[in-house]
Homo-oligomer: A and B are copies of this chain.
Amino acid sequence: MSGNTFGTLFAVTNFGESHGPAIGCVIDGCPPGMPLSEADIQADLDRRRPGTSRHVTQRAEPDAVEILSGVYEGVTTGTPIALLIRNTDQRSKDYGDIAQRFRPGHADYTYWHKYGVRDPRGGGRSSARLTAPTVAAGAVARKWLAEAYGTRFRACMVQLGELDIGFESWEHVPHNPFFAPVADVQRFEDYMDALRKAGDSCGARIRVQATGVPVGLGEPIYDKLDADIAWAMMGLNAVKGVEIGAGFASAGQRGTVHGDSLSPEGFRSNHAGGVLGGISSGQDIEVQIAIKPTSSILSPRASIDTAGQPVEVSTRGRHDPCVGIRAAPIAEALLALVLMDHALRHRAQCGDVHQSVAPIAASAP
């Protein structure tokens, strides 16, 4: 399959450019009979939307989604669901000066050599704007998984640039513009203000979690559940690292510590992050991702132009100084899409497997 499709059975094909007429996706393989409306999708899109705080790009896009197909009288029919989002706030003049020069850290250079041509308007297809269709498709997956298994998804920021955020409670996440799981975010406000003044940007680390995951999702070799999660997360713009469970810390652990004990009451720890041998264990799926600092910064940097000559590049325009801030809802959507696809794959092959003994609890009391 060509490269712009996510999933094999719940297959999401993404299209569009940041400043073209529209962006969107086609979801092929959604189970029939599920109530679905634009409102179900819009809520997640709004959480990802630009312009919601002073710490993200001020591009003002309503990102209103239209369902073009696959839904009849408010219910999915099992046929492809096409989702369309018109681009409305295209200021291509902001980007004219970068058409002939390659911004460091951006896809400009690689697109140009790969394709011979590239759409420079707003980063074209490499823009983070193209995560909107992913979020939209993720909303459909989340709804189905919630109804079928009670699976839920949430994400929060656990590091902002040099600052470790810590974790107090999931309840704080919706109440601050950073998706931070802490009550007091003043130092993050200050940090961002200083960053913006310096014409610089910063990275971030995001934690993503799924709860209520059924046992048995994933394939033993290659298409493991954790492999597909890593694929989905690393494919998100600016992500440079992915961990499952104990992640990089497990390199320094011993077997007596790492292996999660089982008891009739449930698992006694979750270093595995919810995946054993590539297959979900029923524990919470725990993922962390590292996001690099935004490449579009005001500070001038050395680069070359399309003729190979040295130039200096300074990116004006409307950019997120920390793309990690808006990454939380996107990461949730990505995790939901992976689980959704594997839920259908599992049902295909093992739909008639029933053990007499039920799975144990995700965690022992």
Across-interface contacts of A109 in B (CB, < 8 A): 262, 276, 281
Contact of A2 among B219, B246, B357 (CB under 8 A): B219
Q: Are A261 and B104 in contact (CB under 8 A)?
A: yes
| Number of identical protomers | 4
User: Taking the complex as formed, is A245 at the interface, i.e. its CB lies under 8 A from any CB of chain B?
Assistant: yes
Report how many residues on chain A are interfacial, defined by Cβ distance under 8 Å: 168
User: Taking the complex as formed, is A203 at the interface, i.e. its CB lies under 8 A from any CB of chain B?
Assistant: yes
Across-interface contacts of A261 in B (CB, < 8 A): 104, 301-303
Stretch at the interface among A47-55, A56-64, A114-122, A171-179: A114-122
User: Taking the complex as formed, is A6 at the interface, i.e. its CB lies under 8 A from any CB of chain B?
Assistant: yes
Q: Which 8 A-B pairs have the closest CB atoms?
A: A107-B277, A3-B219, A105-B259, A227-B235, A3-B223, A201-B255, A230-B234, A231-B231
0/1 string, A212-254, CB within 8 A of B gives 1: 0001101111111011111111110100111111111111111
Across-interface contacts of A294 in B (CB, < 8 A): 255
Report if A31-B106 is in contact (Cβ < 8 Å); known contacts: A114-B279, A202-B254, A261-B302.
no
Name the interface residues of A239-287: CB closer than 8 Å to any CB of B. 240-264, 268, 271-273, 275-282
Across-interface contacts of A301 in B (CB, < 8 A): 256, 259, 261
Report if A113-B359 is in contact (Cβ < 8 Å); known contacts: A8-B2, A68-B20, A222-B4.
yes
Across-interface contacts of A44 in B (CB, < 8 A): none
In the complex, A292→B280 CA distance in Å?
17
Q: Are B219 and A4 in contact (CB under 8 A)?
A: yes
16 additional A-B pairs beyond A3-B220, A77-B124, A255-B295, beta carbons within 8 Å, are: A2-B349, A4-B79, A5-B13, A6-B222, A9-B345, A24-B68, A106-B276, A110-B215, A111-B279, A226-B235, A230-B235, A237-B277, A247-B290, A253-B293, A258-B293, A308-B360
Q: Are B240 and A241 in contact (CB under 8 A)?
A: no
User: Taking the complex as formed, is A143 at the interface, i.e. its CB lies under 8 A from any CB of chain B?
Assistant: no
Across-interface contacts of A1 in B (CB, < 8 A): 1, 5, 8, 11, 28
Across-interface contacts of A282 in B (CB, < 8 A): 113
In the complex, A274→B98 CA distance in Å?
22
0/1 string, A59-78, CB within 8 A of B gives 1: 00000001111101001111
